[in-house]
Structure 1
């Protein structure tokens, strides 16, 4: 799965599955802002089992396919100037 610089693994997964953060929020019954907090790395998701199942169903994946960390890829190289 190719990521753009600093893009989160979760955002990459959404792109591959052609899903938006807004769709994730709707399926999980949360605000889109909460999903954007995850993507920015400012908050971590705290999903119930039902929400995790719904997310896996939406993304057509198993829980093992979900990234451990939903925020930006902090290991990406930063260009030197």
Structure 2
């Protein structure tokens, strides 16, 4: 039996976040952009595997957002 979780996160530019996450995604993860949301579905064979993958994904989203924001702030500061 497959376990599935769908995560919806809202971003200023979800396409940039999706691109930042792509290298870490596995074959069990499928992402798409819907408006200002990044929608990711994760499927795993076990509950423990699903939990671990969701946990990793949430950390990766947080890191991606932090890096993207730092880059924007740095770029904005240099152009003033």
TM-score category (smaller protein) = 0.3 to 0.5
TM-score, normalised via structure 1 length:
0.32
Select the structure that is richer in helix.
Answer: 2
Greater RCO (Cα-Cα under 8 Å, separation 6 or more): 1
Select the structure that is richer in strand.
Answer: 2
